[in-house]
C-alpha cells in the first residue's frame, strides 16, 4: 500500500539520499544549492512513492541514504543504532568476541592497523598493512570501517574466512579464523632488556592504562635503577585521549601542551599535563610502526615535538580525526558518531593523513584550502625540522622483519602452532633445557609431511584454472604431462624456499615452543633479543652522545 508523507519528511529523506550527488562546482551560492537539492529530493521520492514497481518500506531506504551520505565523508563518521554501539564501549570494557585486530581505511581499502597480541588474527599471521578484500567471499569494497568491524565480530567459536591482500605478494590469501573472546591488555611484556634499560610494551589506551604503566615502572625501580627507558607502541591502535595525555605526563613536566583539537566549525581544545613526571630525565626511546595509530601517535608525536624521546621504527598509521557522539533518538538509542575536529601535536603538525578528503566533491574546495592539504615544515622545541605529512615519522628508521611466503603458509595452516603443541605433549622435559637443536627442525619436517602439508606457490590458483580448462577442452595427454612437470618443478623450488627460509622458520618454531612451555611474556622477552628495532632503540638510549645529537640537546 502506497503511503503519503509530509513535505518536510520527503525533503529530509532526499536530502539524505542525494546529498552527495550535487556537483560542488554548481554550488556558487550555498543556500541556492541547498534549495535546489531539496527540490530534487522531493521530486524523486514522490515519483518513487507513486510509481515504483513495489511498495516501499521507508526506514531501510532512509537508513541506506544516511549511510550513503556518511560514506562520502571520513571512515569514522557513522550512524549508530543499538547494535552498532558495542564498539564505543570496547575501550572501557576491554572485552569483545571477534578476531582481535584494529582496522582502518587506507586508500579507500579496509586495512589492518594492528593485530592484537595473542588473538586469532595474530596467531594466524595477519600483519599491519594487510588489506581485507573479502569476508566470507563478500567484497569489502565500498563498506565503512564500522560495518566491516561488525561483520568481523560475532559469537565466540564461530568461523569467518578472510581474503587478505598483502603488499609484496601477488596472490590473495584465504584465511579461516575462529572468533574468540578478545581481552584488551594494556601492558604486555615489561622488564630490563639491558642493564639499567627498562622496556615496556603498551598494547592499548584504556581507562586503566596509566595506572598499569605506573605500577610497572614502580616495580622496575624497586628491581634496579632505571637509567634508560624504551616505550614500545608498535601495533598499538590507540584508545582514550586522556590516557595518551597521562602517558606523556609520565615523562614531561607539568603544564606542558600535549595535543590540541580544532575543526572547521569546532572550538579549539588544548590538553596539558597536570602532574609532575615519574621519569623526567632518563633517556627515552619510543618504538612505532604502521600499526601505531591515534593515541599512540599523540604520545609519540608529542614526545618527538618536545624533544623528550627519540622515535625509532617505521612510519605510523596517520589516524588523527576526533569524533563526538550525538544522540538522535534517546528512546531507541540511535546516535551519530561524527568527526568534528583533528588532532594537532605541539609543533602544530596534524596527525591525520591527508587522503580521505582529496578528490571528494562533497568537501568544499575552500574548506580543503583552509585545512591546507600541502606538506609544510614544522619545528620541535629544539628547532629540529619535522613535516606534517600525516602520521609520525621516526627519527631513526628501522624496518621490521617480513614473513617469508613459505613461513606464512606454515602459520596460516597451523603447522607451527600444531607442532609446538605436539612437541610439548611428547617431550615435556624440554622445558628444563630449552635449546633449539637441529633435530627439532628434522622432526618438524617429518611432522608437516605426515600432516599432508602442501606448499602453494603464488601461481597455484592459476595452475588450477589451467587444469580445469585443459580438462574441459580435452587437450592431449602431452599437454597434461607438461603441466604436471611444471607443478613438480614448482614444488621442488618451494622445497628450496623452505631451506632458504630455514632460519626464520626455526625462529618462529622456537618462539611458539617457548610460549607453549612457559607463557606469552617469556616468548616476548626472548623475541626482543633478535628484534632489530628494539636493539636499535637500546643502542640509541645507551649512547648518550648519539641520543643528545638526535634530539639537538645542548
Residue tagged active-site, from 143, 319, 353, 536? 319
Q: Which helix (H) or strand (E) holds 371?
A: helix 365-371
Position of cell 588532532? 343
d(C-alpha 511, C-alpha 524), whole Å: 8
What whole-number distance in Å separates Cα of residue 300 and Cα of residue 217? Answer: 18
**Dihedrals φ, ψ of 239, to 5°?**
155, -130
Is residue 476 flagged as an active site residue?
no
Distance CA 534, CA 519 (A): 21
- Which residue bears the cell 568544499? 364
Any residues with CB less than 8 A from the CB of 493 and at least 6 apart, and which?
457
- The Cα–Cα gap between 374 and 88 comes to 33
Distance separating alpha carbons of residues 299 and 303, to the nearest angstrom: 6
Catalytic site residue from 294, 296, 347, 404: 294
Candidates 305, 388, 501, 512; catalytic one: 305
Look up residue 288 and give its three cell numbers: 612505532
Pair 196, 228: CB distance under 8 Å = yes
Alpha carbon distance 98, 115 (integer Å): 11
- 305 is a catalytic site residue: yes
Closest CA to 114 of 240, 243, 293, 285: 293
Backbone angles phi, psi at 159, to 5 degrees: -100, 155
Cα dihedral 74, 202, 90, 408, rounded to 10, equals: 70
Helices 460-473 and 477-500: angle between axes, nearest 10 degrees: 170
Cβ atoms < 10 Å from Cβ of 49? 17
d(C-alpha 151, C-alpha 140), whole Å: 10
The question of whether 319 is a catalytic residue gets the answer yes
Distance of CA 314 to the CA centre of its chain: 14
* Residue 248 CB partners (closer than 8 Å, separation 6+): 256, 258, 273, 298, 299, 302, 303
| Rounded distance between C-alpha atoms, residue 378 and residue 178, angstroms | 46
What is the radius of gyration, based on Cα positions, of the chain?
27
Collect all residues with Cβ–Cβ distance below 8 Å to 36 and sequence separation of at least 6. Answer: 22
Cα distance between residue 119 and residue 373, in whole Å:
37
Any idea which residue has 603498551 for its cell? 202
Q: Which residues are catalytic?
A: 294, 305, 319
Amino acid at each position: 500500500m502506497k503511503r503519503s508523507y509530509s513535505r518536510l519528511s520527503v525533503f529530509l529523506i532526499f536530502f539524505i539520499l542525494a546529498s552527495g550527488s550535487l556537483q560542488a562546482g554548481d554550488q556558487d551560492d550555498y543556500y541556492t544549492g541547498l534549495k535546489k537539492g531539496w527540490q530534487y529530493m522531493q521530486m524523486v521520492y514522490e515519483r518513487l512513492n507513486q510509481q515504483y514497481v513495489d511498495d516501499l518500506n521507508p526506514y531501510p531506504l532512509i537508513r541506506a541514504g544516511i549511510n550513503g551520505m556518511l560514506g562520502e565523508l571520513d571512515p569514522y563518521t557513522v550512524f549508530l543504532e543499538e547494535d552498532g554501539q558495542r564498539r564505543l564501549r570496547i575501550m572501557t570494557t576491554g572485552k569483545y568476541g571477534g578476531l582481535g585486530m584494529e582496522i582502518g581505511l587506507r586508500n579507500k581499502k579496509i586495512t589492518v592497523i594492528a593485530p592484537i597480541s595473542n588473538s586469532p588474527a595474530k596467531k594466524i599471521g595477519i600483519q599491519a598493512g594487510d588489506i581485507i578484500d573479502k569476508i566470507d567471499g563478500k567484497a569489502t569494497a565500498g563498506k565503512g570501517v564500522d560495518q566491516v568491524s561488525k561483520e568481523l565480530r560475532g559469537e565466540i567459536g564461530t568461523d569467518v574466512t578472510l581474503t587478505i591482500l598483502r603488499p609484496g605478494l601477488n596472490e590473495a590469501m584465504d584465511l579461516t579464523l575462529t572468533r574468540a573472546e578478545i581481552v584488551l591488555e594494556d601492558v604486555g611484556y615489561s622488564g630490563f632488556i639491558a642493564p639499567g634499560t627498562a622496556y615496556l610494551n603498551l598494547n592499548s589506551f584504556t581507562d586503566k592504562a596509566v595506572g598499569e604503566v605506573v605500577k610497572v615502572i614502580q616495580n622496575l625501580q624497586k628491581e634496579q635503577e632505571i637509567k634508560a627507558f624504551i616505550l614500545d607502541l608498535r601495533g598499538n591502535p590507540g584508545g582514550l585521549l586522556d590516557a595518551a595525555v597521562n602517558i606523556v605526563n609520565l615523562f614531561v613536566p607539568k603544564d606542558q601542551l600535549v595535543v590540541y583539537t580544532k575543526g572547521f566549525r569546532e572550538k579549539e581544545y588544548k590538553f596539558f599535563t597536570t602532574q609532575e613526571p615519574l621519569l623526567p630525565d632518563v633517556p627515552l626511546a619510543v618504538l612505532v610502526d604502521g600499526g601505531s595509530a591515534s593515541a599512540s601517535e599523540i604520545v609519540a608525536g608529542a614526545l618527538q615535538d618536545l624533544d623528550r624521546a627519540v622515535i625509532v621504527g617505521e612510519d605510523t598509521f596517520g589516524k588523527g580525526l576526533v569524533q563526538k557522539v550525538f544522540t538522535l533518538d534517546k528512546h531507541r538509542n540511535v546516535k551519530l558518531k561524527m568527526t568534528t575536529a583533528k588532532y594537532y601535536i605541539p609543533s602544530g603538525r596534524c596527525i591525520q593523513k591527508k587522503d580521505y578528503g582529496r578528490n571528494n566533491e562533497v568537501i568544499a574546495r575552500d574548506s580543503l584550502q583552509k585545512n591546507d592539504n600541502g606538506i609544510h615544515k614544522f619545528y620541535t622545541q629544539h628547532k629540529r625540522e619535522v613535516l606534517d605529512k600525516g602520521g609520525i615519522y621516526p627519527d631513526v628508521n628501522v624496518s621490521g622483519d617480513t614473513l617469508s611466503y613459505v613461513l606464512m603458509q606454515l602459520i596460516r595452516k597451523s603447522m607451527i602452532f600444531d607442532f609446538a603443541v605436539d612437541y610439548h605433549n611428547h617431550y615435556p622435559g624440554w622445558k628444563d633445557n630449552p635449546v633449539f637443536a637441529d633435530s627439532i627442525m628434522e622432526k618438524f619436517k617429518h611432522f608437516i609431511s605426515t600432516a599432508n602439508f602442501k606448499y602453494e606457490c603464488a601461481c597455484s590458483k592459476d595452475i588450477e584454472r589451467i587444469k580445469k580448462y585443459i580438462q574441459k577442452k580435452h587437450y592431449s595427454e602431452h599437454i597434461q604431462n607438461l603441466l604436471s612437470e611444471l607443478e613438480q618443478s614448482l614444488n621442488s623450488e618451494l622445497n628450496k624456499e623452505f631451506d632458504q627460509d630455514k632460519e626464520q622458520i626455526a625462529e618462529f618454531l622456537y618462539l611458539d615452543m617457548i610460549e607453549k612451555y612457559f607463557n606469552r611474556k617469556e616468548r616476548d622477552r626472548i623475541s626482543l633479543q633478535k628484534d632489530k628495532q628494539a636493539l636499535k632503540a637500546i643502542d640509541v638510549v645507551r649512547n648518550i652522545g648519539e641520543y643528545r645529537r638526535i634530539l639537538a640537546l645542548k
